[in-house]
């Protein structure tokens, strides 16, 4: 049985996927936040992933992201799955590729929904699935000269 809504604003928007990109240029939190603005949304959740100076007990000296040519299509598939599972009014996700430094934004995702709980859950699902399902790889170079590739984000 289809869910019943108290108000039409609680139903998914006609085209809730507003921004989906993989870029080699700096990301903007403001751009992603603006992309998910919607008058019927009572809650907006935003997640920002930044490059940190350590991982697995080691100092990170340099970091780069690369992706498979199918990554954009996989990102859309993940977004469509989130839209199908939640009353999403608007959704946006951008991921950076190329060489980054500590403090750079690596990924920014946002979701707006009629209520805050749905927005939090949908945003969490979006970033978790993006991280696990989209073929984006992180190459970390540590200050001791060692390096590692980390699959999918």
Mean of pLDDT values over 23-42: 97
Predicted local confidence at residue 2, as pLDDT: 42
Task: Encode 41-51: b = buried (16+ Cβ within 10 Å), e = exposed.
Answer: bbbbbbbebeb
Query: In this structure, are residues 122 and 85 in contact, taking their beta carbons and an 8 Å threshold?
Result: yes
56-79 residue pLDDT tens: 899 998 899 999 999 999 999 999
- Cα–Cα distance for residue pair 143/80, rounded to 1 Å: 39
pLDDT over 70 at 152, yes or no: no
pLDDT over 90 at 12, yes or no: no
pTM of the entire predicted model: 0.90
- Cα–Cα distance for residue pair 75/87, rounded to 1 Å: 19
75-115 residue pLDDT tens: 999 999 999 999 999 999 999 999 999 999 999 999 999 99
């Amino acid at each position: 049985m289809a869910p019943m809504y108290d108000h039409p604003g609680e139903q998914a928007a006609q085209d809730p996927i507003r921004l989906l990109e993989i870029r080699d240029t700096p990301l903007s939190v403001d751009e992603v936040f603006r992309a998910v603005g919607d008058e019927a949304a009572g809650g907006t959740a935003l997640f920002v992933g930044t490059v940190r100076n350590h991982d697995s007990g080691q100092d990170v000296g340099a970091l780069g992201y690369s992706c498979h040519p199918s990554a954009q299509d996989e990102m859309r598939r993940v977004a469509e799955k989130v839209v199908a599972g939640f009353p999403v009014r608007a959704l946006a996700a951008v991921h950076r590729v190329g060489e980054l430094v500590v403090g750079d934004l690596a990924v920014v995702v946002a979701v707006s929904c009629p209520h805050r709980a749905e927005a939090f859950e949908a945003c969490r699902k979006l970033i978790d699935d993006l991280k696990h399902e989209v073929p984006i790889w992180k190459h970390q170079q540590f200050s001791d000269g060692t390096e590692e590739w980390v699959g999918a984000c």
